[in-house]
Amino acid sequence: MPTKTKSSKSKKSSSSKGVKYVYFFGNGKADGNGKMKALLGGKGANLAEMTKIRLPVPAGFTITTEVCTYYYDHNRTYPGSLDRQIDDAIAKLEHAMGRKFGDVSNPLLVAVRSGARDSMPGMMDTILNLGLNDRTVRGLAERSKNERFAYDCYRRFLQMYGDVVMGVQKRPGEDHEPFETVIESLKAELFPNDPHVSDTKLDASALRTLTDRFRKLIRERTGKDFPEDPREQLRGAIGAVFGSWNNERAIIYRRKYNIPHEWGTAVNVQAMVFGNTGENSGSGVSFTRDPATGEKVLYGEFLLNAQGEDVVAGVRTPEPVAKIQVQFPEVYRQLQDVRRTLEGHFKDMQDFEFTVEEGRLFMLQTRNGKRTGLAAVRIAVEMVKEKLIKPDDAVRRIPADSLSQLLAPVFDARARKTAEVIARGLPAGPGAATGQIYFQANEAEAAAHKGAKVLLVRVETSPEDIRGMLAAEGILTARGGVSSHAALVARQMGKVCVCGASDLQIDYATGTLTVRGKHYRKGDFLSIDGTTGEIFAGEVKTSPSDIVRVLVDKDIQGTDSPTYKMFAQLMQWADQRRKLEVRANADQPDQVEHAVAFGAQGVGLCRTEHMFFEGQRIDFVRQMILAENADERNQALAKLLPEQRSDFVGIFKALGGRPATIRFLDPPLHEFLPHEESAQRDLADKLGISADRIARRVKELHEFNPMLGHRGCRLGIVYPEISEMQARAVFEAAAEVQASGMKVRPEIMIPLVGFPKELELQLEVVHRVATTVQKERNVKISYLVGTMIEVPRACVVADEIAKSAQFFSFGTNDLTQTSLGMSRDDAGSFLPRYQEEEIVRQNPFAVLDQGGVGKLMETAVRLGRSVRKDIKLGICGEHGGDPDSVKFCHRLGLNYVSCSPFRLPVARLAAAQAALKD
Ligand code: PEP
Ligand code: MG
Q: Please give the number of the atom of ligand 1 that sits closest to the Cα of 790.
A: 2
Q: What integer pLDDT is reported at residue 315 of this predicted model?
A: 61
Query: How much is the average pLDDT of 655-672?
Result: 95
Q: What values do phi and psi take at 291, rounded to 5? A: -75, -10
Other Cβ atoms closer than 10 A to 518: 11
Instruction: Determine the Cα–Cα distance for residues 713 and 787; give it in Å rounded to an integer.
Output: 10
Residue of 499, 876, 889, 899 with catalytic role? 876
pLDDT at residue 669 is higher than 60: yes
Element at 147 (helix H, strand E): helix 147-160
The 3-state DSSP class for residue 498 equals: strand
pLDDT at residue 494 is higher than 70: no
Beta carbons of 395 and 574 less than 8 angstroms apart: yes
pLDDT at residue 646 is higher than 50: yes
pLDDT category, 179, cuts 50, 70, 90? very high
Beta carbons of 530 and 428 less than 8 angstroms apart: yes
The 3-state DSSP class for residue 849 equals: coil
pLDDT at residue 550 is higher than 70: yes
Q: Is 174 exposed, middle or buried (0-12, 13-18, 19+ CB in 10 A)?
A: exposed
The residue whose CA is least distant from atom 3 of ligand 1 is 811
- Which ligand has the nearest atom to the CA of 608? 1
Instruction: Determine the Cα–Cα distance for residues 192 and 623; give it in Å rounded to an integer.
Output: 82
Beta carbons of 486 and 474 less than 8 angstroms apart: no
- The pick from 813, 819, 823, 882 for probing ligand 1's pocket by mutation, whose C-beta has the most ligand atoms within 8 angstroms, reads 813
Residues 6+ apart with CB under 8 A from 732: 645, 773, 777
The identity of residue 723, as a single letter, is: S
**pLDDT mean across residues, the chain:** 91
Q: What integer pLDDT is reported at residue 16 of this predicted model?
A: 34
Q: Please give the number of the atom of ligand 1 that sits closest to the Cα of 812.
A: 3
For ligand 1, the distance from its centroid to the CA atom of residue 336, given in whole angstroms, is 54
Report the interhelical angle of 691-701 vs 677-687 (nearest 10°): 120
Instruction: Determine the Cα–Cα distance for residues 569 and 279; give it in Å rounded to an integer.
Output: 47
Instruction: Determine the Cα–Cα distance for residues 461 and 442; give it in Å rounded to an integer.
Output: 13
Beta carbons of 159 and 176 less than 8 angstroms apart: no
pLDDT category, 261, cuts 50, 70, 90? confident
Q: What integer pLDDT is reported at residue 483 of this predicted model?
A: 63
pLDDT at residue 643 is higher than 70: yes
Q: Please give the number of the atom of ligand 1 that sits closest to the Cα of 607.
A: 9
- The pick from 876, 889, 894, 897 for probing ligand 1's pocket by mutation, whose C-beta has the most ligand atoms within 8 angstroms, reads 876
For ligand 1, the distance from its centroid to the CA atom of residue 888, given in whole angstroms, is 19
Residues 6+ apart with CB under 8 A from 466: 249, 252, 253, 256, 441, 489
- Ligand 1, CB within 6 Å, residue ranges: 605, 607, 666, 790, 811-814, 876-877
- The pick from 607, 749, 889 for probing ligand 1's pocket by mutation, whose C-beta has the most ligand atoms within 8 angstroms, reads 607
- The pick from 788, 795, 822, 848 for probing ligand 1's pocket by mutation, whose C-beta has the most ligand atoms within 8 angstroms, reads 788
Instruction: Determine the Cα–Cα distance for residues 561 and 559; give it in Å rounded to an integer.
Output: 6
How far lies 739's CA from each of 653, 733, 774, in Å? 12, 10, 12
Q: What integer pLDDT is reported at residue 3 of this predicted model?
A: 33
For ligand 1, the distance from its centroid to the CA atom of residue 815, given in whole angstroms, is 8
Residues 6+ apart with CB under 8 A from 618: 612, 672
The residue whose CA is least distant from atom 1 of ligand 1 is 811
The residue whose CA is least distant from atom 8 of ligand 1 is 813
Instruction: Determine the Cα–Cα distance for residues 148 and 278; give it in Å rounded to an integer.
Output: 10
Instruction: Determine the Cα–Cα distance for residues 290 and 294; give it in Å rounded to an integer.
Output: 5
Instruction: Determine the Cα–Cα distance for residues 488 and 122; give it in Å rounded to an integer.
Output: 10
The residue count of the chain comes to 918
* CA atoms within 13 Å, Cβ hemisphere of 553: 12
* CA atoms within 13 Å, Cβ hemisphere of 434: 16
Q: Are strands 659-663 and 432-438 parallel, antiparallel or unpaired?
A: unpaired
Q: Please give the number of the atom of ligand 1 that sits closest to the Cα of 751.
A: 6
pLDDT at residue 475 is higher than 70: yes
Residues 6+ apart with CB under 8 A from 463: 122, 123, 249, 253, 485
Instruction: Determine the Cα–Cα distance for residues 90 and 82; give it in Å rounded to an integer.
Output: 12
Beta carbons of 460 and 485 less than 8 angstroms apart: yes
SS3 content of the chain, % helix, strand, coil (to 5): 50, 15, 35
How far lies 466's CA from each of 164, 471, 757, in Å? 19, 9, 52
The identity of residue 44, as a single letter, is: G
Residues 6+ apart with CB under 8 A from 43: 62, 113, 114, 115, 119, 266, 268, 365, 367
Q: What integer pLDDT is reported at residue 224 of this predicted model?
A: 95
Tens of pLDDT, residue by residue over 557-610, are 999 999 999 999 999 999 999 999 999 999 889 889 999 999 999 999 999 988
First-to-final CA distance of the chain: 29
For ligand 1, the distance from its centroid to the CA atom of residue 635, given in whole angstroms, is 29
Beta carbons of 569 and 381 less than 8 angstroms apart: yes
Lowest-pLDDT range of 499-503, 571-575, 783-787: 499-503
Beta carbons of 901 and 600 less than 8 angstroms apart: yes
Tens of pLDDT, residue by residue over 825-883, are 888 788 878 988 889 988 899 899 999 999 999 999 999 999 999 999 999 998 999 99
How far lies 803's CA from each of 723, 763, 770, 787, 795, in Å? 21, 12, 20, 11, 14
The residue whose CA is least distant from atom 4 of ligand 1 is 811
Q: Please give the number of the atom of ligand 1 that sits closest to the Cα of 814.
A: 2
Report the share of the chain in percent with pLDDT over 70: 97
The residue whose CA is least distant from atom 10 of ligand 1 is 814
For ligand 2, the distance from its centroid to the CA atom of residue 788, given in whole angstroms, is 8
DSSP code, position 275: S
pLDDT category, 492, cuts 50, 70, 90? low
> What residues pair up with 747 in beta bridges, in sequence order?
661, 784
The residue whose CA is least distant from atom 6 of ligand 1 is 811
Tens of pLDDT, residue by residue over 708-766, are 999 999 999 999 999 999 999 999 999 999 999 999 999 999 999 999 999 999 999 99
Q: Please give the number of the atom of ligand 1 that sits closest to the Cα of 810.
A: 3
For ligand 1, the distance from its centroid to the CA atom of residue 790, given in whole angstroms, is 8
- Which ligand has the nearest atom to the CA of 671? 1
Nearest CA among 816, 758, 745, 820 for reference residue 787: 758
Q: What is the DSSP string of 42-98?
A: HHHHHHHHHHHTT-----EEEE-HHHHHHHHHTTS---TTHHHHHHHHHHHHHHHHT
Element at 865 (helix H, strand E): helix 853-867
pLDDT category, 10, cuts 50, 70, 90? very low
Q: Are strands 518-521 and 474-477 parallel, antiparallel or unpaired?
A: unpaired
pLDDT at residue 380 is higher than 80: yes
DSSP code, position 460: S
DSSP code, position 759: H
- Which ligand has the nearest atom to the CA of 607? 1
Q: Is 161 exposed, middle or buried (0-12, 13-18, 19+ CB in 10 A)?
A: buried
Report the interhelical angle of 617-626 vs 691-701 (nearest 10°): 80
Instruction: Determine the Cα–Cα distance for residues 452 and 447; give it in Å rounded to an integer.
Output: 6
Active-site annotation holds for 153: no
Report the share of the chain in percent with pLDDT over 90: 73
DSSP code, position 515: E
Residue of 68, 153, 485, 889 with catalytic role? 485
pLDDT at residue 5 is higher than 50: no
Beta carbons of 915 and 894 less than 8 angstroms apart: no
- Order of strands, edge to edge, in the sheet holding 512-515? 504-507, 512-515, 518-521
Between 7 and 443, the higher pLDDT residue: 443
Torsion, Cα of 448, 451, 452, 455 (10° steps): 30
Q: Please give the number of the atom of ligand 1 that sits closest to the Cα of 877.
A: 3
The identity of residue 918, as a single letter, is: D
Torsion, Cα of 834, 840, 841, 845 (10° steps): -100
For ligand 2, the distance from its centroid to the CA atom of residue 586, given in whole angstroms, is 14
Q: What integer pLDDT is reported at residue 838 of this predicted model?
A: 84
Q: Are strands 896-899 and 525-529 parallel, antiparallel or unpaired?
A: unpaired
Instruction: Determine the Cα–Cα distance for residues 747 and 810; give it in Å rounded to an integer.
Output: 14
Q: What integer pLDDT is reported at residue 2 of this predicted model?
A: 32
Torsion, Cα of 615, 616, 617, 619 (10° steps): 130
Whole-number CA gyration radius for the chain? 32
- The pick from 587, 605, 820, 845 for probing ligand 1's pocket by mutation, whose C-beta has the most ligand atoms within 8 angstroms, reads 605
pLDDT at residue 277 is higher than 90: no
Other Cβ atoms closer than 10 A to 115: 27
For ligand 2, the distance from its centroid to the CA atom of residue 752, given in whole angstroms, is 7
- Which ligand has the nearest atom to the CA of 875? 1
- Which ligand has the nearest atom to the CA of 604? 1
Q: Please give the number of the atom of ligand 1 that sits closest to the Cα of 817.
A: 2
Instruction: Determine the Cα–Cα distance for residues 371 and 440; give it in Å rounded to an integer.
Output: 26
For ligand 1, the distance from its centroid to the CA atom of residue 615, given in whole angstroms, is 24
For ligand 1, the distance from its centroid to the CA atom of residue 812, given in whole angstroms, is 7
The residue whose CA is least distant from atom 9 of ligand 1 is 607
Torsion, Cα of 373, 46, 163, 82 (10° steps): 140
